[in-house]
Structure 1
C-alpha cells in the first residue's frame, strides 16, 4: 500500500512529479510512492548522523513497492505502443543498460552483507564460548577488521563511484514530441532510476561508516582507515555511530588492547553491538533480496517491450 512505509523526515517539502491521474489507474499511487521516497532521499542527504539499518530498510521497502506499482504501467498496451516509437526506443535500451549496473550493485551489496554476517556470527560464537580463549577472540576480531578494510578499499568505494556516475548519466529526451501518457512514463522511469540509485548508494554509505560529513555531497566516500576512538568504545558513544560503525570502533579498540597484551573485554557490551549489527544485516538482506527480484522483473518487462 502507498502508505505502508514511513520516512524519518516527513516535514520536508518534496517536488511532486504530478502524474495525470486519468492516464493510468496506478498513476496516483505511483506519484505518492515517489513523493515518499524523495522525502526519504532528502532525509538521507541531510541527516546529522550516520544512516542506521532501519532507515535503509525503509528505502528498500518503499522502492520494492514502487517497482511493483510501475510493473502494470510498463506492461500496459498504451505504454508498449508509445515507447516503441523510434525516438523513444533508446529510452528502453538505456534503461536496460542501467539495470545491469543496478543489479551488479545489488549483487555486490548482497555479497558484502553475507560475509559480514558470517564474520559477526564467528565473533559471537567465540565470545559466548565457555572458558573463552583470548587467542580465538583475537583471531576473529582481526579477521573482521581485515574484511572491513578490504571491503572498503575494493567493493564499497568502487560501487559508490559507479552509482554516482550512473546518476550523472541519466538520459535526457525531447519531451516536446511526447503525448501525455508517454510524458508520464518517461518521468516515472527517470524518477525510478534516480531513486533506485539513491537507495543503493545509501546502503553502501551505511556499510562505509565511519564516514565524515561534508557540505558538498552529504557524506564523504569513506574514511581511509578504521580509526579506534576511545569515547566511542562505550555504549554512550554508540549514539554517534550506526550499527556498522559501532562494531568497527569497539573491535578496533579491542584489537589495540590485544596488541598491548592487556585486553579487558566487556563481553556483554561487545555482544550487544554484534547482535544489533546482526539484526540489521538480516533485515537488509531481506530487503535487498526483494529489490533484486524487482529489478529482474523490471528488466524482463522492458525486454518484452523490445521483443513483443
Structure 2
C-alpha cells in the first residue's frame, strides 16, 4: 500500500448538517481518523457519502449563484473554491477507504484504470501549475522592487514575464478538457444501483475539479493578457475579460506611473493573491495525489 501525504487540520467555511440516521456501525482505527464500517455497500444514508454529496452541492450552488450575482472574478471567490475543492477530495478519499466502496469499484477494473489515468493527468497539471505560480511570484517580487525604484524597463520586463507564465498556464486547459470526454463513458456489466451511485459521485467530483480549475487557470491567463479595444457608436469600449480583479488591477498599476503609493498597494494585493492561490492549489495538488493513491489501492490491495 502506498502511503498518503499527511493532512493538516482544516476547517470548512460551511458546516454540513448532521447525517441522516444510519444503521451502520462504526469502529475507530489507530489514530484520529474514523472509518465507518458496514456489511453492505454505501448508500445515500451513509455519513461519508452524504457529506461528500453535501459539499458537492454546496460548491455547485455557491459557484452558480456567485456567477449570476457578480460577473467579476475576485481572489476571495477563487480561494473559497479551492478550499471547497480540497474538502471534496478529502471526503472522496475517505469514501474510497471504505471496504464496501473498494469492493464495488473492483467489479469495474477497466473504468477504475481510466479514472486513474485521469487523476494522473490532473496531478501533472497541478504540478506544472505550481511551477508556473512560483515563476509568477518571482516576477511579482521583481515588479515590487521596480515600482519602488521607479525602474520602467524592469517593469516592462516583468509584464512580459507575467504574460508568458499566464500563457503557459493557459496551455494546461486542453488536458482538462480531454478528461471531460471520459465522463460520458458509463460502467459496463453492472445493474447494481450502489455501483452506479458511487461511479456517479466520482464523475461529479472530476467534473467539479475541471470546472474550478478551468476558471482559475483562465482567470490568471486573462488577467495578464493585453486588453482588446473595440469602437462602437464612436465610443471607446474595452472588451470584458474574465480575469481575476486583483491581478488585473496590479497589471494596470505596472502600466501607470502617476500614483506611486496606489501602485505599490495594488502590487502588494497581487502578491497576496498569488500567495493565496499557490497555497490553495498546493493543497488541492496533495489531495489529488492522495485520492489517486486510494484508487490505486482499489486494484492492488
Instruction: Provide the TM-score with structure 2 as the length reference.
Output: 0.76
- Equivalence for 1:244: 247
Deviation of 1:78 after TM superposition, in Å, equals 1.0
Shift of the alpha carbon at 1:3? Answer: 9.1
The one-character-per-residue Cα deviations of 1:24-52 (angstroms, maximum 9, x if unpaired) are 32121111101012123424654653312
Asked if the contact 1:226/1:248 (under 8 Å) is kept, the reply is no
Residue 186 of structure 1, CA deviation: 0.5
Query: Paired residue for 1:279?
Result: 272
CA distance in 2, matches of 1:118, 1:178: 54
Match of 2:17 in 1: none
1:26-37 correspondence runs (5 A) = 26-37=48-59
**1:139 matched to 2:161:** no
Unaligned runs of 5+ in 2: 1-8, 15-41, 231-235, 238-242
Q: Alignment partner of 2:171: what SS? A: helix
Whether the 8 Å CA contact 2:146–2:155 is kept in 1: the answer is no
8 Å Cα contact 2:247/2:270 also seen in 1? yes
C-alpha separation in 2, matches of 1:91 and 1:28: 23
Higher strand share: 2
1:170 Cα shift? 1.5
1:258-286: per-residue Cα shift (whole Å, max 9, x none)?
A: xxxxxx44111111111111111111111
Q: Relative to 1, partners in 2 of residues 1:168 and 1:305: Cα closer, same or farther, differing over 3 Å?
A: same
- Conservation of the 8 A alpha-carbon contact between 2:146 and 2:152: no
Residues 241 and 289 (structure 1 numbering): CA distance in 2 closer, same or farther, change over 3 Å?
Answer: closer
Offset from partner CA, 1:84-104 (integer Å, 9 cap, x none):
11xx11221111111122112
SS at 1:173 equivalent: coil
Provide structure 1 residue ranges, at least 5 long, that are not aligned to the other structure.
7-18, 211-221, 233-239, 255-263
Q: Hey, what does 1:161 align to over in structure 2?
A: 174
Q: Of 121, 125, 134, which residue of structure 1 is paired with 2:141?
A: 121
> Per-residue CA shift, 1:183-228, capped at 9, x if unaligned?
2210111001000111111211220224xxxxxxxxxxx95x3569
Partner residue of 1:199? Answer: 212
Partner residue, 1:306: 299
Residue equivalent to 1:5? 13
